[in-house]
A and B are shown apart, each in its own frame.
Chain A
Amino acid sequence: MGRRLTFDIFRYNPSVPGSTPRIQTFQLEETPGMNLFVALTRLREEQDPSLKFDFVCRMALCGSCGMLINGRPRLACKTFTRDLPAQINLFPLPVFKLLGDLSVDTGTWFRNLALKTGAWLHTSRAFEHDAREERMDNETALRIYEAERCIECGCCLAACAKVHLQKEFIGAAGINRLVRFMLDPRDERGVAQYFEVLGSENGIYGCMGLMGCEDNCPKDLPLQLQLAYIRRRLAATGVSRSQTRQGKG
């Protein structure tokens, strides 16, 4: 027989006028290999069909199911109940707009971020249908992929004290996404252009170095490294610029 699990889950439906946030308690018997995807699906199907949460791939690839699990931002799909105490508290991720219960609007947040920072490959060159692809060494491809593989779940933002204080700060996910393009030789933007986007208090200089992002990334991305990389690149640009100015003066 499995343990008897107690779930205290945040409930709130903003679309119902006059409704107020509350905590609802559920009980569920633990089954072998149970994770929070299995548990929440059962709670919805067997106990309260109105319970809102977001799962898509249930294999930590789509980034839909970030939530606060006993206070920490985690992907629900890759959290085994056996790694948690019998008392499990579930809250929606902070930072993002609440859609209802455990469902938050990370999609809109990341879409705005991508538009604001120009998070796509910038190239002026037209595609030639019959030409062979340009070469790239595999090390470069792998370095790009290492930054590319962020699934934009929002756990790093929920874990970032600075994002809570400063709404416009783009956080580790935003900075990492731009690192991905800086590392890509196919992108035609120069450091000066990246500086426009990143060289401010809402960019890299907004980071206070608390590293809640790296500690809580469900994909184990080297966020600390990427933040340091940007800082170094931009500092170097700043130095060389001021030297140029001094030289001219």
Chain B
Amino acid sequence: MSSYRIHVTDALIIGAGLAGERTAIELAARGLEAVILSLVPPRRSHSTAAQGGLQAALGNCAQGRGDSPDVHFKDTVKGADWGCDQNVVRLFVNTAPAAVRQTARWGVPWSRITAGKRRMPDLSVVEESEASAGLITAKKFAGTTKWRTCYAAEGTGHALQYALDGMVLSLGVTVHDRIEAIALIHDGRRCLGAVARCLRTGDLRAYLARATVIATGGCGRIYGLSTNSVINEGTGLFLALDTGLACLGNMEAVQFHPKTMPPTWIPVSEGGGGYILDRNLDYFMPYYQPKNKKVPYRDVIARHMQERIRAGLGVDGPHGPHLWLDIRHLGATHIERHLQNLAVFCRDFGGIDPVRELIPVRPAQHYVMGGVRTNIDGAVYGLEGLFAVGEAACWDLHGFNRLGGNSLAETIVAGMVVGRKVAEFALGHSLQYSSRLVGEHLAAQEYRLRSLIAGKNGCENCYELKKRMQRIMMEYVGIFRTGTGLRKAMAELQELHQRAQQVRLVSNSRGANPELEAALRLPGMVRLALCITCGALARTESRGSHYREDFPNRDDINWLNRTLAYWPPGAELPVLKYEPVTITELPPGERTASA
């Protein structure tokens, strides 16, 4: 063990996106030492790609008047199809306004209210008063009763990440980038840190901490079509799962973005101002039109689009069938001025001029509501000293469908709330570990690496297996699910899980090696795929984004609960358990799109 570098700190945070950095700030502000590990430099995190905005009931702008945490609460619970934890939602909606204002203090250039009249694309006129001028403004988002989505021009995630990273720098928080945590260190009861691998040199090292926080984001890349960054492979999720002690909540709840553009599936959002057309240029979603104030939930739109494609009415494109998004009627001025990002994306990544041409779109994986299951304090079930925050966590704010803008808000709210709890834990618990235990964890990972490099495991190709997994997930565990399809996926994934442990590297360089990294992650990714599949197969109802064609209705009598997936050491499949969903204020009712 003496040959390895050992870092000891108060709190270890795995992941430097918004949730991780916000948690670190809270710790540093309370005088604790925090070390953040990140696959990439913090400012390259997936959080920077979040463009839409962030929901907080400030109620400043004219269309947001009358908004309050109570209204935000109802929208969130309905959006979640009652699958969320209402205590968490209440805490979240009450904290969000302060969390946003605090980031203004840290430098986020939130867009502000300008007094006067403004004409919207649907020709309605919005008038802002002098009294509210200069306050943080908000825009409309699907599934929200009021205009509640705060934004910083067209780069909310970017602006937030840079502001938070600035605070991280000013507070002297240590960031180790290009470092990947590959196993948690624990003694069967308490988490003591992580074994990590340097992506620059390939060296192993150990980080020991009183508290460890998983903030690694989602696992979108287990799907073939995903809007996620390429690093969103769910590393933190299987780190926790592989302890056999922690569990993942509601993994079958996967959100699909209705409109993403080939060939790289970049989301193109026009704010509900466009029309969606099929191959005959038929306009088949009568409710999806600019004048409709009731923008339906994302899962509803995505299903309707996928249905059309399945019916053979998609357009045959070089990257598979798609539909069209038409925004030409909005006119050049509106598009260039108010949909700048969309215009840039279309031109730079689709080679399309949205002022004159139709935009090819189809649904792709976008967000996982599930994650490492925690309590309201962010403490992970089953392992003391381990916390999870942000998309990596199932705090359970989102239930079975996340509202747009609630995930960005979750990162800063949970970072604030959970950060405080992590600090309390770290202050109340000393770090006690045996060198032997740490040595054993390091040795196990060293063995895993050496076997892979030596080519002793078998002769499977890592990238072929990964693509196969991604295809299975798209085909059988996507927007539409059936018992037959899910059983097929389960059998195929189980076989893949075996094969994922028999990878032989084509390349042989030690040190930084992208193939080795992919091969190390693959078995864990397949386990996540199996957690999603088995959860979806067991859940014989439809709720939010989880849609079973053979069980199309929500079933509150049997399924108003949360799936917990465990992976006992050496098991071939996850073990599923269930816990009730907390209902405090809003009993289950009809899920209609908000006005």
Interface residues of A (CB under 8 A from B): 13, 15-16, 31-35, 37-38, 44-46, 48-52, 54-64, 77-78, 80, 82, 99-100, 103, 105-108, 110-111, 114-115, 118-121, 123, 125, 127, 129-138, 141-142, 144-145, 148-149, 151-152, 181, 184, 186-187
Using A107-B177, A138-B113 as known contacts, say yes or no to A120 and B169 having CB atoms under 8 A apart: yes
Determine the chain A residues whose CB is within 8 A of the CB of B262 once the complex forms. Answer: 33
Q: Which of A16, A38, A45 has the most CB of B within 10 A?
A: A45
Binary interface encoding of chain B residues 150-169 relative to chain A, with 1 for a CB under 8 A from any of its CBs, else 0: 00110101110011011101
Q: Report yes or no: A123 in contact with B105, Cβ–Cβ below 8 A.
A: yes
Count residues of chain B with CB under 8 A from any CB of chain A: 77
**Which listed segment binds A: B37-45, B417-425, B491-499, B575-583?**
B37-45
Determine the chain A residues whose CB is within 8 A of the CB of B102 once the complex forms. Answer: 127
Q: Report yes or no: A59 in contact with B345, Cβ–Cβ below 8 A.
A: yes
Interface residues of B (CB under 8 A from A): 40-41, 43-46, 48-49, 51, 58, 98, 100-102, 104-107, 109-114, 133-137, 152-153, 155, 157-159, 162-163, 165-167, 169-170, 175, 177-178, 200-202, 229-231, 262-264, 266, 318-319, 345, 348-351, 462-463, 467, 505-515, 518
A99 to B109, CA, bound (A): 34
Q: Report yes or no: A78 in contact with B348, Cβ–Cβ below 8 A.
A: yes
Q: Report yes or no: A62 in contact with B166, Cβ–Cβ below 8 A.
A: no
Q: Report yes or no: A121 in contact with B44, Cβ–Cβ below 8 A.
A: no
Q: Report yes or no: B230 in contact with A145, Cβ–Cβ below 8 A.
A: no
Q: Report yes or no: A141 in contact with B111, Cβ–Cβ below 8 A.
A: yes
Determine the chain B residues whose CB is within 8 A of the CB of A110 once the complex forms. Answer: 41, 43
A59 to B136, CA, bound (A): 27
A142 to B30, CA, bound (A): 33
Q: Report yes or no: B230 in contact with A58, Cβ–Cβ below 8 A.
A: yes
State the Cβ distance, A145 to closest chain B Cβ, in Å.
4
A152 to B162, CA, bound (A): 11
Determine the chain B residues whose CB is within 8 A of the CB of A62 once the complex forms. Answer: 40, 43-46, 48-49, 229
State the Cβ distance, B130 to closest chain A Cβ, in Å.
11
Determine the chain A residues whose CB is within 8 A of the CB of B202 once the complex forms. Answer: 15
Partner of B105, one of A48, A100, A125, A132: A125
- Chain B's closest residue to A115 (CB) is B169
Determine the chain B residues whose CB is within 8 A of the CB of A82 once the complex forms. Answer: 351
A38 to B318, CA, bound (A): 14
Q: Report yes or no: B104 in contact with A133, Cβ–Cβ below 8 A.
A: yes
- Chain B's closest residue to A103 (CB) is B512
A58 to B231, CA, bound (A): 11
A45 to B107, CA, bound (A): 41
Q: Report yes or no: A149 in contact with B105, Cβ–Cβ below 8 A.
A: no
Q: Report yes or no: B49 in contact with A144, Cβ–Cβ below 8 A.
A: no
Q: Report yes or no: A78 in contact with B349, Cβ–Cβ below 8 A.
A: yes
Using A34-B263, A110-B41, A136-B134 as known contacts, say yes or no to A50 and B515 having CB atoms under 8 A apart: yes
A249 to B16, CA, bound (A): 54
State the Cβ distance, B201 to closest chain A Cβ, in Å.
6
Given A121-B163, A149-B153, output 9 extra A-B contacts at Cβ < 8 Å. Answer: A34-B263, A38-B263, A49-B515, A52-B514, A120-B163, A138-B114, A141-B110, A142-B111, A145-B155
Determine the chain B residues whose CB is within 8 A of the CB of A141 once the complex forms. Answer: 109-112, 152-153
Q: Report yes or no: A50 in contact with B135, Cβ–Cβ below 8 A.
A: no
- Chain B's closest residue to A45 (CB) is B463
Partner of A16, one of B106, B165, B509: B509
Determine the chain B residues whose CB is within 8 A of the CB of A37 once the complex forms. Answer: 264
A115 to B172, CA, bound (A): 10
Partner of A145, one of B101, B153, B175, B506: B153
Shortest Cβ-Cβ A-B pairs, 3 listed: A107-B41, A120-B166, A135-B134
Partner of A121, one of B101, B107, B112, B349: B107
Would you list 11 pairs from A and B whose C-beta atoms are within 8 A, ordered by A residue?
A: A44-B514, A52-B512, A54-B44, A57-B48, A59-B49, A108-B41, A130-B98, A138-B137, A141-B110, A149-B159, A187-B107
Determine the chain B residues whose CB is within 8 A of the CB of A129 once the complex forms. Answer: 98
A110 to B49, CA, bound (A): 19
- Chain A's closest residue to B95 (CB) is A129
Partner of A59, one of B135, B266, B515: B266
A37 to B264, CA, bound (A): 9
Determine the chain A residues whose CB is within 8 A of the CB of B345 once the complex forms. Answer: 59
Q: Report yes or no: B514 in contact with A50, Cβ–Cβ below 8 A.
A: yes
State the Cβ distance, B266 to closest chain A Cβ, in Å.
5
Using A38-B264, A49-B505, A138-B112 as known contacts, say yes or no to A132 and B511 having CB atoms under 8 A apart: no
Partner of B134, one of A35, A77, A105, A137: A137
Q: Report yes or no: A137 in contact with B510, Cβ–Cβ below 8 A.
A: no
State the Cβ distance, A106 to closest chain B Cβ, in Å.
7
Using A130-B98, A148-B162 as known contacts, say yes or no to A100 and B134 having CB atoms under 8 A apart: no
State the Cβ distance, A12 to closest chain B Cβ, in Å.
11
Determine the chain B residues whose CB is within 8 A of the CB of A58 once the complex forms. Answer: 229-230, 264, 266
A131 to B135, CA, bound (A): 12
A111 to B45, CA, bound (A): 14
Q: Report yes or no: A137 in contact with B104, Cβ–Cβ below 8 A.
A: no
A13 to B167, CA, bound (A): 35
Q: Report yes or no: B511 in contact with A64, Cβ–Cβ below 8 A.
A: no
Q: Report yes or no: B159 in contact with A145, Cβ–Cβ below 8 A.
A: yes
State the Cβ distance, B151 to closest chain A Cβ, in Å.
10
Q: Report yes or no: B107 in contact with A186, Cβ–Cβ below 8 A.
A: yes
A78 to B101, CA, bound (A): 34
Q: Report yes or no: A51 in contact with B134, Cβ–Cβ below 8 A.
A: no
Partner of B44, one of A13, A46, A56: A56
Determine the chain A residues whose CB is within 8 A of the CB of B505 once the complex forms. Answer: 49
